[in-house]
Structure 1
Amino acid sequence: MTDSIRNADVLIIGGGLSGTMLAVQLLRRPGQRRILVIEPRAELGRGEAYSAVELGHTLNGNAARMSVDPDNADDLTQWLTDYIAAGGWPQAHQQRVPISELFPPRGIFGLYAQQRLAQAQALSASTVEHVRGEVVDVQVDEAATLLTLDNGQQLRGAFAVLATGMFPAARTPQTESSGLNAAAVDPWDVSSMTQIDPQASVLIIGSGLTMVDAVVSLELAGHRGPIEVFSRHGLLPHVRRQPPAWVDFLAEDPSLRSPRQLLREVRRQCRIAQAQGIDWQAPLDTVRAHIGRLWSQASERQKRQFVRHVRPWWESHHHRSPPLSAQLVARLHEAGRLRIQAASYKGLEPSVDGVCIRVRYRGEQAITRVRGAALINSSGIEYDWRRVARPLPQQLLKRGLIRPGPLALGIAADAGGAVVDSQGQVSSRLFAMGPPLRGLWWESTAVTDVALQAKALASKLTPTL
């Protein structure tokens, strides 16, 4: 353990997109301050989502929807225009659509975030430093926060921000491990998939966007055999299209408050759109701006009803697939190579050759055993921090510095991101942003959501600095 403690004004725990956007917003604030970003990866700005190296792993939103600048919705489009003109991403020209409608590869988006951080730092009196390591403990008192890293180093700051991003189920150790991840192939690891017999059957648990990525990975690896997908409801993500503008019906009718009222009105608006020959995605896309308000004013019972009965359909309709990936999934499905089956995963079976899983098909009581050459866990994101077997979440819970958020989605916090501890006290030193606030806002993972949170939090922290 080091003897000295490094000091800073703000300690950002996590250097993926969330932490990087907060750093950019702090750099843009007037004044001079020291910011330390603690991130185990070699680069800031990429995190779990944007470390992808394959061009086939793209954003699920087009450039016009993915700006990291909350004050300029065209920021990514403008950056991408210059990047392509300079010779980057030559494959973009094959798509023959305006740059604003392109779905950039995630690796290129990570480069965009990095360059925006570098530009902000060049123009700022403040400094950002990348401290490479993993935070394993946090202590908070009235005067400061103290972080301990996995190498024993300690950092002290006036404020600490949990910008930990998402915990993908496929890569996150679980407190009650079933051994699934140990037996499964990483959904984004194309090189590992080249070791699978290209004609053999591959089993996938989950049918959301991670499954779409897994299918893309298999295709890139040269797999040409059958793919069996199992999920409770058997729903696929819809393809994201570019619908025309639609009237903001929620802004015009403040009486629509409950999830049931919202669902009924969204369906009505979609029927109206379709009757006029307009894509049903047009009215659905207007709901996005109101989700935080609607979720926060819903009762606990209404939230549970939404999660239990509506969530699978919300996810498949709202979290849509990029067009090229969706085309691949549709082509394999139509050819009979990819099958989507409504079934619940019930565990692994010992197997000397390949893998064997237990599933229960919808409408049946019996457990069925299914065999394949390989298994992929595409069951999405783990939002319950109590189940994440990482040092930081476990230590925060042990110290009582955090408590689970509504419905165990992320952690509890106030509307400004100040963390609520196990006794219900709102911290003046420890904050959170992005995916950890899923339970507070329901949608707290999209780039635009996190960008707005980063700007608001930077404004909240800097006056006291």
Structure 2
Amino acid sequence: MNQPSNGQATRATRDADVLIVGGGLSGALLAAQLLRLPGRRRLLVIEPRSELGRGEAYSAVELGHTLNGNAARMSVDPDHADDLSRWLGDYIAAGGWPESDQQHVPVSELFPPRGIFGLYVQQRLAEAQALGAVQGSTVDHVRAEAVDLQTNADAAVLTLDDGRQLRGARAVLATGMFPAARTPQTESSGLNAAALDPWDVAAMARLDPRATVLIIGSGLTMVDAVVSLEQAGHRGPIEVFSRHGLLPHVRRQPPTWADFLAEDHSLRSPRQLLRELRRQCHEALAAGVDWQAPLDTVRAHIGRLWSQATDAQRRQFVRHVRPWWESHHHRSPPLSAELVARLHAEGRLRIHAASFKGLEPAADGGLAISIRRRGETQATQVAGAALINSSGIEYDWRRVARPLPRQLLARGLIQPGPLALGIRADAGGAVLDAQGRVAERLFAMGPPLRGMWWESTAVTDVASQAKALAARLAALG
């Protein structure tokens, strides 16, 4: 694009007011919020997938891959907690998702398939697009992968994998999550090359249904993998290996409980929080109330608690508390949990507390892994017909072998977040460079800010960040 004679980019010479890098949930919600605000602005969403609003999480097509939260907890409208419940009720009434009656609960308590949730996000984006058009705002989908980004005094310049360059007044890293099973690693063990995708039912259907399947990791991705295997017709043994051998608890619908953290701001360290949380849970159980009720009140305070903690306290939490926090807080949808429990009771699914040490050569076309069981010093081999990497999300951008993260780090435009989780930014999402300077043209939201807020991946977190960041970008002009 031609530049003005004075060397400065103007609004007329830029391709967009805001370049949104990533068109999954984060990018779609930010675009929707910007389109709803008064004023005229041009938005470009750079996303290699054919559709916006789905990303990694909501591109699933199998009905068995559901949200791990019920509809009442998953609204993309931070001002209306019942937005998804209302949309879903209308969708079902119009003949969509007839299988919903199998859950036997009110609409607000349904756990919809992730593919249907993706439709909901897309519809809300389309509505915002129509509203923006009235005000002269536009959003366009650029189907490409961003591979490099530079900033100068006038613009953010994004380079695409097809060689094109786009200029915007601001750029936002809305890259979403990097699932370990689908993300190239800078220091690869070869696991992904040998493993099946946890969500690829078609590939699993090609296995011998009686074959032994090995799974690394026992969190929610493992639950999805087990659902995929079941839908593929697999009926053989499933051996699951994770460091602590913990399974996600099933998500229930507990009654309300007093928000004890709102009443007592003296609870700051992980140790203080855990001590009081245990007391609250014991108190609930003694009163005949589900222990999940007190735990669920903590959700609203996680960002504050994490941001005010010292690095030493954060490390203490990650090292000693994180596995139990994940299994108790990131809970499994009921139908998926029932499947895992049934297979475990039948003896078909076994959970092992063991660390994955690497791949091993195996005879007769199979594969083998080296694992070290908890309490043992020597590694042992375990053989199977197939392997699935369900180790969750890769948050350390230094380990992600994708062009854009590597270029941003190499250029010093970003720095790793606390404990190397995501990237560092100020409280409003402006990225900090390698020298700690606050960027004027580069912002981030959602999962990349995991290290700043700990819980920065849930729908409600992303929705709230999208609204706040949109207001900040609009104010900058």
* TM-score bin, normalised by smaller chain: over 0.9
**How far apart, in 1, do the equivalents of 2:89 and 2:413 lie?**
45
| TM superposition shift of 1:254 | 1.1
Q: Does 1:293 align with 2:304?
A: yes
**How far apart, in 1, do the equivalents of 2:63 and 2:371 lie?**
33
Q: Deviations over 1:142-200 (max 9, x none)?
A: 22100000001111111000000000000000001111000000000000001111001
Aligned to 2:170, the other structure's residue is in SS state strand
Q: Is the 8 A contact 2:26 2:176 kept in 1?
A: yes
Aligned to 2:452, the other structure's residue is in SS state helix
Aligned to 2:48, the other structure's residue is in SS state coil
* Identity among equivalent pairs (%): 79
**How far apart, in 1, do the equivalents of 2:37 and 2:164 lie?**
28
Q: Deviations over 1:395-446 (max 9, x none)?
A: 0001000010000000011100100000110101100000000000000000
**How far apart, in 1, do the equivalents of 2:106 and 2:22 lie?**
34
Q: Alignment length, in residue pairs? A: 464
Q: Deviations over 1:37-89 (max 9, x none)?
A: 00000000000000000000000000000000001000000000100000000
**How far apart, in 1, do the equivalents of 2:339 and 2:352 lie?**
18
**Corresponding residue number in structure 2 for 1:63:** 71
Residues 40-79 of structure 1: pairs in structure 2 closer than 5 A: 40-79=48-87
Match of residue 277, structure 2, among 251, 266, 273: 266
**Corresponding residue number in structure 1 for 2:115:** 107
**How far apart, in 2, do the equivalents of 1:464 and 1:437 lie?**
21
**Corresponding residue number in structure 1 for 2:469:** 457
The AA in structure 2 aligned to 1:240 is: R
Q: Is the 8 A contact 1:60 1:320 kept in 2?
A: yes
**How far apart, in 2, do the equivalents of 1:197 and 1:25 lie?**
48
| TM superposition shift of 1:6 | 5.7
Computed over aligned residues only, the root mean square deviation of the Cα atoms, in angstroms, reads 1.0
Match of residue 378, structure 2, among 360, 366, 383: 366
Q: Deviations over 1:345-385 (max 9, x none)?
A: 00000224211000000000011000000000000000000
Q: Is the 8 A contact 2:218 2:245 kept in 1?
A: yes
Q: Is the 8 A contact 1:6 1:154 kept in 2?
A: no
Match of residue 104, structure 2, among 89, 96, 104: 96
**Corresponding residue number in structure 1 for 2:15:** 7
**Corresponding residue number in structure 2 for 1:347:** 358
Q: Does 1:172 align with 2:180?
A: no
Match of residue 32, structure 2, among 20, 24, 28: 24
**Corresponding residue number in structure 2 for 1:433:** 445
| TM superposition shift of 1:123 | 1.2
User: For the structure 1 residues 147 and 270, does the alpha-carbon distance in structure 2 shift closer, same or farther, using more than 3 Å as the test?
Assistant: same
**Corresponding residue number in structure 1 for 2:454:** 442
Structure 1 runs, 4 residues or longer, greater than 2 Å off: 2-6
The AA in structure 1 aligned to 2:206 is: Q
The AA in structure 2 aligned to 1:36 is: L
| TM superposition shift of 1:138 | 0.3
Q: Does 1:86 align with 2:94?
A: yes
The AA in structure 1 aligned to 2:453 is: W
**How far apart, in 2, do the equivalents of 1:311 and 1:358 lie?**
24
Aligned to 1:43, the other structure's residue is in SS state coil
The AA in structure 1 aligned to 2:118 is: G
**How far apart, in 1, do the equivalents of 2:91 and 2:163 lie?**
41
Q: Does 1:228 align with 2:229?
A: no
The AA in structure 2 aligned to 1:319 is: H
The AA in structure 2 aligned to 1:42 is: S
Q: Is the 8 A contact 1:410 1:435 kept in 2?
A: yes
**How far apart, in 2, do the equivalents of 1:305 and 1:369 lie?**
32
**How far apart, in 2, do the equivalents of 1:322 and 1:334 lie?**
18
**Corresponding residue number in structure 1 for 2:6:** none
Aligned to 1:45, the other structure's residue is in SS state coil
**Corresponding residue number in structure 1 for 2:7:** none
**Corresponding residue number in structure 2 for 1:332:** 343
Aligned to 2:187, the other structure's residue is in SS state coil
Aligned to 1:136, the other structure's residue is in SS state strand
Match of residue 407, structure 1, among 416, 419, 434: 419
**Corresponding residue number in structure 1 for 2:410:** 398
**Corresponding residue number in structure 1 for 2:10:** none
Q: Does 1:131 align with 2:142?
A: yes
**How far apart, in 1, do the equivalents of 2:429 and 2:162 lie?**
28
- TM-score (structure 1 length as normaliser): 0.99
Match of residue 382, structure 1, among 375, 390, 394: 394
Aligned to 1:133, the other structure's residue is in SS state coil
Q: Is the 8 A contact 1:10 1:35 kept in 2?
A: yes
